[in-house]
Structure 1
Amino acid sequence: MMTREEIKKQWDVEFITFENFVEHVNDTLNNMYRKQTIRDLKQFNKSIIDPTKMIFDSFTNGFTKDELIDAEIYRQVDKSINNDIGYFHQNLFNYIDNWIVPKAGFDIENHEQSLFAEMKNKHNTMNSASSQKTYMKLQQKLLEDFNATCYLVEIIAKQSQDVNWKCKVDGKNYDHNKIRRISIDKFYELATGDEFAFKKICEWLPIVIHVLNKEKVTEDATENILKELEKIDNSFIDALFKISYPTYNGFNNLNIRYKEELPDNI
């Protein structure tokens, strides 16, 4: 595995230093780990797990007990970490000259060039109402600042592009050359002057995360949860139903049919 020093020697991203990138990635990871509060069965079942879904998963996906627990933890945590991914992309622009990420206003701003941007993760995450609201916000900025150019930045766009954003607002079609729809690679090129800036970030990200994760000590939540489930019932399936339906009729005397014919992995 590459060391920090080896990565630093090969670092080829001009708009951010290796040290700042490592710090930014580490901040993002720490935010995500802080939200992974699931360490035991009580936390695991806080929002009440769905044992029926887990059993379907075990057969359709061939999951083992460990993999079922891991998948459920991931599902619960994933709901709260999407904002952290947005934080990662958005706040990288703090390291680019003349660009800022303000506490209020637009997601990203460049006052010297009068550039203002709202950032979205995927091209299909905005419904009609949110699209109209965002478009009107960009329109309003043009009314306030004649020199402004406004962008909807899509991290995962349909294609690499920098085009007029054609949007329907209150039934009327709008198309303005200073209200743009731009993919993240083109926006990095605009901000840094390097057409491959986003590509370089993507190339370095996995190894930097790998190095940082090797330095972190994390508790094995899955093992803890499985041990607690075994205390409830030796049968993994029985235990799942019992913790989800503790007061339902008859579940204190559960009798899963023909358990001996079920796969050993569950």
Structure 2
Amino acid sequence: MSWTLSFISEDDFTNHVRATIQKYGDKLKSFDLKRFNKNIVDPVKLIFDKSVYRASWDEIISNEIFRQRDKSNNNDIGYFHQRIFQYMPFCHVPPNGEEGGWDVIYKNPNGIVLPDNSIVHTVYVEMKNKHNTMNSASAGKTFIKMQNQLLKDDDCACFLVEAIAKQSQNIKWETTVDGQRVGHRLIRRVSMDQFYALVTGQNDAFYQMCMVLPQKIQEVVATADSTLIPEDSVMRELKAIAAKNSLANEDLSIAMAIYMLGFPSYNGFAR
């Protein structure tokens, strides 16, 4: 298949996808029963989930493993959204915590046209995965940071870029600071598709990237080291424990094996 993205090379995109997958790190390691119960699962919830959702034990255990893996994956996807801009023209991704702590700095000597047709030459970006990840205190702190940047540089704008915004937008950001509603035309709330469009000059650049992403992930995973493909043994271990229980049926025996994950010393369960 020919490469269709003009704003990033296939090699750079492939390397970035591979780096993102590698960021998953420990979360890609296989789950055995000990790791599965490291923070002690809630056996009663698993029992309810199985019955209410009419699922098999294999499905319930797989879902719980997925939930445990997924808890910290947002940071890895944040890495994908942020670091991809290092490969795009006029964009710079500072090392974490450096250069003011901005996630992306976009400098274009030809000028950057904002929706009101004003022109700046630099955009400082604070990037968030989702529109509702900031509480009021965090939002206020971020807005003040952007205000301070405008005071230091009168030829810039500051963007709060959201990967998952409520809608496609590039609007003046208004929030509350010290109980006062504040806003500034150069401090903007921008959806990821609109930021891609601004940087690349292509309105559907983010869409184009999303269309090639699934196949590229599959290609990278298919050629990856076998350690990137987890082989979870939790269900097999639970069935082995269940087989030793002298209970009426397999379903109850597995339920008892799960109960023992959370209640091994409780009255009636302890042996």
Question: Do the structures match in fold with TM over 0.5?
Answer: yes
Specify the TM-score bucket, using the shorter chain as the normaliser: 0.7 to 0.9
Cα distance in 2 for residues equivalent to 1:188 and 1:106: 17
What per-residue deviation string (whole Å, max 9, x for no partner) do you get for residues 63-120 of structure 1?
Answer: 2121111111111111111100000000010011111110122011024522101011
1:181 aligns with 2:189: yes
Aligned length: 243
Give the Å deviation of 1:219.
3.7
Matching residue of 2:246:
none
1:220 aligns with 2:231: yes
Q: 8 Å contact 2:5–2:208 — kept in the other structure? A: yes
Matching residue of 1:121:
129
Cα distance in 1 for residues equivalent to 2:199 and 2:107: 12
Matching residue of 1:245:
263
Q: Which 5+ residue runs of structure 2 have no aligned equivalent? A: 109-120, 244-252
What per-residue deviation string (whole Å, max 9, x for no partner) do you get for residues 141-186 of structure 1?
Answer: 1111111100000111111111100111111121211001111101
The residue type paired with residue 188 of structure 1 is Y
Cα distance in 2 for residues equivalent to 1:199 and 1:64: 37
Which of these residues, 56, 73, 76, is aligned with residue 65 of structure 2? 73
Matching residue of 2:199:
191
Matching residue of 1:106:
102
SS at match of 2:160: strand
Which of these residues, 23, 31, 41, is aligned with residue 15 of structure 2? 23
Give the Å deviation of 1:137.
0.9
CA gap 1:194/1:91 in 2 versus in 1, 3 angstroms: same
Give the Å deviation of 1:121.
1.2
Q: Percent identity among equivalent residues?
A: 44
Q: Which runs of 4+ in 1 moved over 6 A?
A: none
Cα distance in 2 for residues equivalent to 1:169 and 1:86: 26
Cα distance in 2 for residues equivalent to 1:100 and 1:61: 47
- TM-score, scaled relative to structure 2: 0.85
Matching residue of 1:259:
none
Quick check: which one's strand share is greater? 2
1:46 aligns with 2:38: yes
The residue type paired with residue 182 of structure 2 is Y
Cα distance in 1 for residues equivalent to 2:58 and 2:223: 24
Cα distance in 2 for residues equivalent to 1:147 and 1:59: 60
Q: 8 Å contact 1:37–1:43 — kept in the other structure? A: no
1:143 aligns with 2:143: no
The residue type paired with residue 26 of structure 1 is R
